[in-house]
Amino acid sequence: MTQNPESLPTINHELCISCGSCVAVCPDNILETDTSGRIVIVAVKCMQCGHCYAVCPVEAVSTPFLENGLNLVSIPGLHTDGGAEVSTGALVHMMQQRRSCRIFTADPVDVSLLEDLVKVGTTAPSGTNSQGWKFVLLPRREDVIELGTITADYYRRLNKKAANPALRFMVRLFGNDALGHYFRTYYQSIEEGLREWQENGADRLFHGAPAAIVVAGDTSSSCPAEDALLASQNILLVAHSLGMGTCLIGFVVEAAKRDRSINVALGLDINQKIYSVIAVGYPGIEFVRPAGRKPVSLKIARLGQEQMRRS
Ligand SMILES: Cc1cc2nc3c(=O)[nH]c(=O)nc-3n(C[C@H](O)[C@H](O)[C@H](O)COP(=O)(O)O)c2cc1C
């Protein structure tokens, strides 16, 4: 693949000390030290990860095709270079304390804060550095309600189908018990949620959140789902660190897999898929200690030894 020279890093040879750090970290091997000791670009397939810029001790590498620095507007307490000290203890404590918030105050979330959350989200790794994520912000409660209404319409139709025993039987005949599984697992609670939504506006979907962030991805990226979910986790954590509440809303993601009208309403293209929907706001309740976790399931593998035993 040939690449426009403007999308490749450049080296300022007046600054470069030829330490070779950029050569060592480049995953595409586009940099080399030539016979005279100069760092040169030798290939043109660059994934634009920015590692050469990030590792250079003398700022001799430029990557003008990337934005360096998050340029946050509403998140306080950060240096522009991101250089705030965080102890491991503080980080782990924050991870432990984050909870899915299902009780929100009515306080709105400033759109610039939502934008900052998303910018922090994009510090996540992405497959082949594609950064193919697409974010849709819903800063107004009425838009969150509208997304909830479209989603509720989908589940109303699905519940109608699932309530039909003949249809469940027919679908199972074709070796697919998805409708039966849905009926047994979700039908009843969804039916209740839909009734409450209709009768008294109780919002069991978005839990009354005043805002939401939809994280979609370009399906032509190498790992769009993983990229979107890693960015989402960043968003959850930084929002928590700011005293905000978040909750992933998988019910909307599931509905969007089968009902294109959700993507259309959000202005997403045909090649963009929704991987997470995050309810965002301020918590109406405080958790005073971390929730426990199930015992970790892990094992230690020694594959080399296993192979030796087999041979
Ligand atoms: C993929 C995914 C989808 C989820 N969907 C929903 C949802 O639709 N509604 C909801 O209230 N919580 C949802 N959650 C939140 C989980 O129920 C929650 O993470 C889990 O119970 C653990 O609680 P914690 O986040 O407070 O640690 C979802 C979580 C994940 C990871």
What is the per-residue pLDDT across 93-110, written as a single tens digit (0 to 9) for each? 999 999 999 999 999 999
Q: Kindly state the percentage of the chain with pLDDT values over 70.
A: 95
Question: How far apart are the CA of 247 and the centre of ligand 1, in A?
Answer: 6
Return the closest-CA partner of residue 58 out of 22, 30, 34.
22
pLDDT at 78 over 80: no
As a whole number of angstroms, the distance between CA 187 and CA 155 comes to 9
Q: Average of pLDDT values for 219-234?
A: 97
pLDDT confidence tier of residue 305, bands split at 50, 70 and 90: confident
As a whole number of angstroms, the distance between CA 138 and CA 156 comes to 23
pLDDT at 1 > cutoff 50: no
Could you tell me the residue ranges of all domains in the chain? Answer: 5-62, 88-139+205-281, 142-200
Name the residue with the closest Cα to ligand 1, atom 10. Answer: 249
Residue identifier of the C-alpha nearest atom 27 of ligand 1: 99
Split at pLDDT 50, 70, 90, the class of 5 is: confident
CA of 102 to the centre of ligand 1 (A): 10
- Ligand 1 atom with the smallest distance to the CA of 276 is 1
- What is the chain's mean pLDDT, rounded? 93
Ligand 1, pocket residues at CB < 6 Å: 99-100, 102, 247-251, 291
Q: What is the CATH number of domain 88-139+205-281?
A: 3.40.109.10
CATH assignment, 5-62: 3.30.70.20
Cα–Cα separations (whole angstroms), residue 156 to 104, 123, 125, 150: 25, 38, 37, 10
pLDDT surpasses 60 at 81: no
Average pLDDT score over residue span 28-49: 93
Max intra-chain CA distance, the chain:
79
Segment 130-177, tens digit of pLDDT: 999 999 999 999 999 999 999 999 999 999 999 999 999 999 999 899
**What was the pLDDT predicted at 278?**
98
**pLDDT tens-digit series, residues 262-283:** 999 999 999 999 999 999 999 9
